[in-house]
Amino acid sequence: MKKPKVYKNFINGEWVKSHTGETFQNINPANTDDVVGIFQQSDDQDVDAAISAAAEAYKSWRLYPAPKRGEILYRVAQRLLKDKEEISRDMTREMGKVLAETRGDTQEAIDMTYYMAGEGRRSFGQTTPSEMTNKFCMSIRQPLGVCGMITPWNFPIAIPSWKMTPALVLGNTVVIKPATYTPLSVVNLVKAFEEEGLPPGVVNLVSGSGSSVGQPLMTDKRVGCVSFTGSTDIGRKISEACSPDFKHCHLEMGGKNCIIIMDDADLDLALEGSLWGAFGTTGQRCTASSRLIIHKKVYNKFTKMLVERAKALKVGNGLEDGIEMGPAISESQMNSVLEYMRIGEKEDGAKLLCGGGRLTGGAYDKGWFTQPTIFGDVEPGMRIFKEEIFGSVTDCIPVNDFDQAIEFANDCAYGLSASIYTQDVNRAFTAMRDVYTGIFYVNAPTIGAETHMPFGGTKHTGNGHREACTQSLEVFSEWKSVYIDFSGTNQRAQIDNQ
Ligand code: UN1
């Protein structure tokens, strides 16, 4: 086998080794003989150098005209489009999801980058009359400085682009720590910025673990904002680390998303949506459809249809034609999913309808493959009803009526995404209003968000912010209200105009 390539950190416009001299391997989860690359195992000194570079670059980048910043983004989007196939293949190799999906992931980064390129000529504030004579009011956005980003492995290039592009177009500089399972996709994104003329120090990449890179990044006083996507447990720690300095802190965390399937639903459509929502990306999406809440009148029929199709899903190496579901990202993730399968089997009343284990034999033995798994007769209170599994497992939950479906949908610590399949417009709108999530779909599964719509969730999914769309600009800027008095007199607001 070819010797794997060594990838470096990107600090102040240079690709450099970590001062630790240590590295880690990035392994293909579909074939553990395949080492995708060797990456730097960095520590706080590397983070310090990256933050210093970003702080220095900020001095001039914030003054660089916003439309010009947008033009760089525009060129980056074009380059990503040109390199889409190669980037997507690298991504399937390091992350495991099938090529059609990694192409989608890359496309999402392209869409986001084009969208934010346009913000270079917008970033609108308000102008408004003053209550005083000969006085003018406006609000403008100001950047925060150095933004720290800690990104996940399930959307290896899309999510970094959701964070980097709004931050950059607003005039911030960036230090990004990619997930250790998928650093190559972030290297590919950062390379596009480098090649399209982003000044040195504006974007810096430091690879390594959460404790040795993430921790110093989130606690450094020079960092004005931390944006994180990952688990709720880690998100809570980041929130605590940010709070002493009142850093902007954006958290995008867990989900336990549901599809409601009513008795009047187009069941064939609901079937396609449920399979895609539950097993797309091997269920490793924050938005995955991990609870299917099904009206009792169609419960038996629908679960039968679903199980039949789930059993027939083609699981394997995502680079091969015809494969519909890839592996889990890692051995530990696979073990955690297998553990949930055991937990589900032990739940009193729940029935394992299909799957329930690891796929073994032949090429499967080289990767972390799990069976598409469905539990039936799942009820509130069960762990598999409540906890995020992040794998190829979904629940079928029978309900008596619409009201119970809404109650069960909301019986959840998380609030990312939900959906309903129904032909009844009144029910669709009622569910849209009453299910408390950040994203809602009608006659579509819980996955498939578009970049020009706000992305994020309620309750333990987030801390009130949204990614993508113009809402993401709020994360990476502060408003400044500006009053210009051209009266030549000392006018006292609320007093002199009464
Ligand atoms: C995630 O689930 O972690 O909406 C991100 C979707 C994708 C993004 C998902 N566009 O499913």
pLDDT of 335 reads 98
In whole angstroms, what is the distance from residue 13 CA to residue 203 CA? 8
The CA distances from residue 247 to 17, 164, 235, 243, 449, in Å, are: 29, 17, 14, 6, 28
Which among 42, 319, 330 is positioned nearest to 181, based on CA atoms? Answer: 330
Q: Are residues 371 and 469 in the same domain?
A: no
User: Is residue 493 situated within a structural domain?
Assistant: no
Q: Are residues 98 and 138 in the same domain?
A: yes
Mean pLDDT of 209-228: 98
Q: Are residues 397 and 473 in the same domain?
A: no
Nearest-atom number in ligand 1 for the CA of 158 is 8
Q: Under DSSP, is residue 206 helix (H, G, I), strand (E, B) or coil?
A: coil
pLDDT digits (tens, 9 = 90+) for 134-186: 999 999 999 999 999 999 999 999 999 999 999 999 999 999 999 999 999 99
CATH number at residue 171: 3.40.605.10
Mean pLDDT of 12-33: 98
User: Is residue 455 situated within a structural domain?
Assistant: no
Give the number of domains in the chain. Answer: 2
User: Is residue 453 situated within a structural domain?
Assistant: no
Average pLDDT of the residues of the chain: 98
DSSP state of 405: H
In whole angstroms, what is the distance from residue 373 CA to residue 353 CA? 7
pLDDT digits (tens, 9 = 90+) for 336-360: 999 999 999 999 999 999 999 999 9
pTM for this entry: 0.97
Which among 153, 71, 165, 72 is positioned nearest to 105, based on CA atoms? Answer: 153
Nearest-atom number in ligand 1 for the CA of 450 is 10
Catalytic residue numbers? 252, 286
Q: Are residues 264 and 371 in the same domain?
A: yes
One-letter identity of residue 317: N
Q: How far is CA 403 from the centre of its chain?
A: 31
User: In which band, very low, low, confident or very high, does the pLDDT at 477 lie, cut at 50, 70 and 90?
Assistant: very high
Which among 356, 354, 358 is positioned nearest to 367, based on CA atoms? Answer: 358
User: In which band, very low, low, confident or very high, does the pLDDT at 497 lie, cut at 50, 70 and 90?
Assistant: confident
Q: Are residues 298 and 345 in the same domain?
A: yes
C-alpha 98 – ligand 1 centre gap (Å):
15
| Probe target for ligand 1 pocket from 159, 227, 286, with the most ligand atoms within 8 Å of CB | 286
pLDDT of 1 reads 64
Res. 190: pLDDT tops 70: yes
Nearest-atom number in ligand 1 for the CA of 286 is 2
pLDDT of 260 reads 99
One-letter identity of residue 489: T
C-alpha 94 – ligand 1 centre gap (Å):
18
| Probe target for ligand 1 pocket from 150, 282, 285, with the most ligand atoms within 8 Å of CB | 285
Res. 383: pLDDT tops 70: yes
CA atoms within 13 A on the CB side of 245: 15
Mean pLDDT of 66-81: 98
C-alpha 449 – ligand 1 centre gap (Å):
6
pLDDT of 460 reads 97
Domain of 242 in residue numbering reads as 9-253+462-481
Q: Are residues 231 and 120 in the same domain?
A: yes
User: In which band, very low, low, confident or very high, does the pLDDT at 498 lie, cut at 50, 70 and 90?
Assistant: confident
Q: Are residues 187 and 218 in the same domain?
A: yes
Q: Are residues 191 and 267 in the same domain?
A: no
pLDDT of 2 reads 78
In this structure, the residues whose C-beta lies within 6 A of any atom of ligand 1 are 108, 154-155, 285-287, 447-449
Q: Are residues 270 and 203 in the same domain?
A: no
Q: Are residues 375 and 396 in the same domain?
A: yes
CATH number at residue 270: 3.40.309.10
User: Is residue 416 situated within a structural domain?
Assistant: yes
pLDDT digits (tens, 9 = 90+) for 282-332: 999 999 999 999 999 999 999 999 999 999 999 999 999 999 999 999 999
Mean pLDDT of 63-71: 98
